[in-house]
A and B are shown apart, each in its own frame.
Chain A
């Protein structure tokens, strides 16, 4: 029973939502829109569960002073602090002078930008490691990467002999093999997604339902 009801529900709702594309009638879409709204409401409610999980996992570690408990304490204090400040600010919380805005501008924005900026360094180290001409495929990858990178740099056009042709090579690489490969991945993934979706809707895959 515990797994039968979810399976039946999954099948009925799944078929109903797949039908949304093939049945354009507004009366049908009235009810699919309602279901989609319910999905959004459930997702919003799950945020509360996430909040509880954060506290449930980290608070005992702080209480028992387990390893790195200090970082967990900082996280919990930030969580509570941001919540309180956000509620206190209400609809004006994004206005200048508000504590919530200050937190956003001087804590969230720099931290977010810093994490993203790490990518510049990580790309350099990953590229240095990965772009070695170990075999034919790696050599093709290396040559294509070098052409695209040099063509993007203004100095590349000043190179003797090949400088003028480089943008054409780069555009060809980006427009032909790059797009062909992306389209192939996209089509293959879409078909895989259809098969996975059908498996879930028809109840063939059940591992997402949990333990019996």
Chain B
């Protein structure tokens, strides 16, 4: 192969890379493939910690994600709701991201309706609270004062599912679906140690490695990172596959992710081969 070609390849217009990536993502979407994957220990631990929550208990869900992180986190969010509701676990939800309520409220309503759960009695959504770390601190200290009403304007004292919970530690566990800041790190740093809370986290793939130390230190009972984590959790919650008429979004999408990964790996390897060959030829030249 000519030296010029190798140099051109190394310095190619990035739009060729974009085109290649586009094709790599599009093909598995058009021609679906199924690749098996293993369950990560951290995701298994998350699943087990939710399994341990007794029926009839109440958990606190902090749904902190936005449209950008929906593909990574919504599959986990949905699977987690199914996991909780079929165990007859109640939940009180809230969010620290302003763009989250319109995303999550329809999902809450859809899935709770499937299990015949009643708003106010089996679940409620307290809405968005501004303040980031301060809001989390306030959730740790005093939930009724932080959320005097829910998203529909009902007083907390009037909601059977929420009125007896004054602080975060009163819940059986906290499940934080977190796309970034504020999210899992702030929950761990602000209130986990202080109140010895049981917190499980689902987060984006970029933030996952950052929270591994928290998991290793026992500050998180489980950790699901990115779409692979969501896909693994889906497999645990739905071991027999999707329910009729439904799809396991992350399980399907992770195949696309894997092909994308392969494309990048091949690109990097080819780039390095071209780099080494070019360097050899240039060093050998008189």
A170 to B226, CA, bound (A): 16
Q: Which listed residue, B71, B130, B272, touches A131 by the CB 8 Å rule?
A: B272
- Is A154 in contact with chain B by the CB < 8 A criterion? yes
* Shortest distance from the beta carbon of A143 to any chain B beta carbon, whole Å: 11
Query: Cβ of B102 and Cβ of A105 under 8 Å apart?
Result: yes
Query: Cβ of A121 and Cβ of B272 under 8 Å apart?
Result: no
Name the A residues within 8 Å of B14 (CB-CB): 125
For B17, B22, B131, the residue with the greatest tally of chain A CB atoms inside 10 Å of its CB is B17
Stretch at the interface among B44-52, B77-85, B116-124, B206-214: B206-214
Query: Cβ of B213 and Cβ of A120 under 8 Å apart?
Result: no
Residues of B within 8 A of A (CB-CB), count: 46
Query: Cβ of B102 and Cβ of A40 under 8 Å apart?
Result: no
Name the B residues within 8 Å of A179 (CB-CB): 209, 212-213, 216
Name the B residues within 8 Å of A12 (CB-CB): none
A155 to B216, CA, bound (A): 28
Query: Cβ of B212 and Cβ of A155 under 8 Å apart?
Result: no
For A91, A125, A149, the residue with the greatest tally of chain B CB atoms inside 10 Å of its CB is A125
Query: Cβ of A94 and Cβ of B105 under 8 Å apart?
Result: yes
- Is B258 in contact with chain A by the CB < 8 A criterion? yes
Query: Cβ of B258 and Cβ of A120 under 8 Å apart?
Result: no
A109 to B22, CA, bound (A): 21
- Is A167 in contact with chain B by the CB < 8 A criterion? yes
Within 8 A of B (CB), among A157-200: 157, 167, 174-175, 178-179, 182-183
With A108-B67, A113-B68 given, is the CB distance from A127 to B268 under 8 Å? Answer: yes
- Is B99 in contact with chain A by the CB < 8 A criterion? yes
Residues of A within 8 A of B (CB-CB), count: 44
A150 to B266, CA, bound (A): 10
Q: Which listed residue, B18, B105, B209, B268, touches A178 by the CB 8 Å rule?
A: B209
Query: Cβ of B261 and Cβ of A149 under 8 Å apart?
Result: yes
- Is A132 in contact with chain B by the CB < 8 A criterion? yes
Name the B residues within 8 Å of A105 (CB-CB): 102
**20 A-B residue contacts at CB 8 Å?**
A39-B134, A40-B131, A94-B105, A105-B102, A108-B99, A116-B68, A120-B25, A120-B260, A121-B21, A124-B21, A124-B263, A125-B18, A128-B264, A131-B268, A132-B271, A145-B268, A146-B269, A153-B261, A179-B212, A182-B213
Having A124-B21, A149-B265, A154-B258, one finds 19 other A-B pairs with CB under 8 Å, namely: A104-B99, A112-B66, A112-B67, A120-B21, A121-B17, A121-B18, A121-B21, A124-B264, A125-B14, A128-B264, A128-B268, A131-B271, A133-B272, A134-B275, A146-B268, A150-B265, A153-B258, A182-B209, A182-B210
